[in-house]
Structure 1
Amino acid sequence: MQELCGYETIIRGNSRFCGIFAPEEWLSFEYYFDIRYYYELGYGNNLSPSLGMPWVVASSALLSRTSVNDQHLYISVAHRQMPPLIMTALGLYNDSEYHSTVNINSVIPLDKINYQRVWKSSDFIPFLSQIALERLNCKSAAYNGSFVRVLVGSAPKPLPRCASGPGASCPLEQYMDYVKNRNDLFEDFSKACGTQNNDITSVLSFFWKDDIFNI
């Protein structure tokens, strides 16, 4: 019924189902999805960064190799399972960045709600969620050069230790080093998943002009 509240509100503008539940029940409903996505597709699953990294690396390569005269917008459409993988690959919504002693069970415990958690799936998987890597080309007294900013929905989400540019962005060169270091931390997904098929690829290709970028 709580899901009906959301879907019916999108379709009709409101839903009588929404008034059935108390605030505490909505918090529990939110936490249920946090548990689900954390252990299936988030930091509670050690495969998650490997599965999200090909998209991050390929999309970042486009940002680093395009010029101001090239295509301005690249669109990648995926279902709700993909954003948590991208978040973990980028190192976002990671409680360990905010607390020095964090283990998986203390972040999303199964016997109580952790109200201080950073990982909240409602922040990055609302209805029709959007994740954007935005390249900024700046010429000013304060900032000069190219920068990359992550937008979750329409809100900037600063990368850990990589937010010295305008609007919580990261200098492009530093951003590419950040992605490379993240990528080096994890096996490619075919190895991480232990696939036996030799035809499985770990390459995500983008078509751009007359070239194919293999990442």
Structure 2
Amino acid sequence: MVAELKYRRILLKLSGEALGAQGNSIDAETVRRIASEVKRVHNLGVEIAMVVGGGNMWRGAYAAATGIDRATADYVGMLATVMNSLVLQDAMEKLGMVTRVQTAIEMPPVAEPFIRRRAERHLEKGRVVILAAGSGNPFFTTDTAAALRAVELNAQVLLKATKVDGIYDDDPVHNPYAHKFEELSYMRALNMGLKVMDSTALSLCKDNKMPIIVFNMQQEGALEAIMRGAKCGTLVSEVDKELA
């Protein structure tokens, strides 16, 4: 079945809000549904690395605006991503997947430290690798951490799961006339200031020719459809076909 797939190794980026709204922390049923979607792809033989945010519990930038030291606020946010990662690990292992959590900040009783070659070996053995604590550095988002890990682990694509079905020129929730982009270049996304990913993450993907697909994780089967080559969401790459 693997021969039918477009992608064989992916980096899936989940926002913390995908697991539960801020203030509600984690919704167990939502976590189980996400784990089920990942399992559908894992069963196809796809090698899966994941990065999850912590915005459902803590946002460093917002906390810093209240007067907390920014570096301190960001470290707290990294710990939030570890909590989310452990919850995801539990849900996926209950569905029969073998997983490993690796953290950018060492905490041996909880998870392995991130070691690139060890992570690659886990992927080769069919284990889902959940990469926590961002990049381990303050002032960098988990989007940037996802871009960095995707490049380090030689993923074929970075998949950013959101609550909308792609990238729009305006908020489609509030503007019914917002235009959806089917394909978009890195430079156009950067120049337009589209809030798909921060500029550091986009630039890192651009410099390393790492394609990005922004899609709706809430749409059942969307992740599997992308693996099989279906056009879901918005592809960000070197070529902007809308301008070609």
| TM band (smaller chain) | under 0.3
TM-score, length basis structure 2: 0.25
Alignment TM-score, normalising by the size of structure 1 = 0.27
Q: Which has the larger radius of gyration?
A: 1
Greater strand percent: which structure? 2
Larger helix proportion of the pair:
1
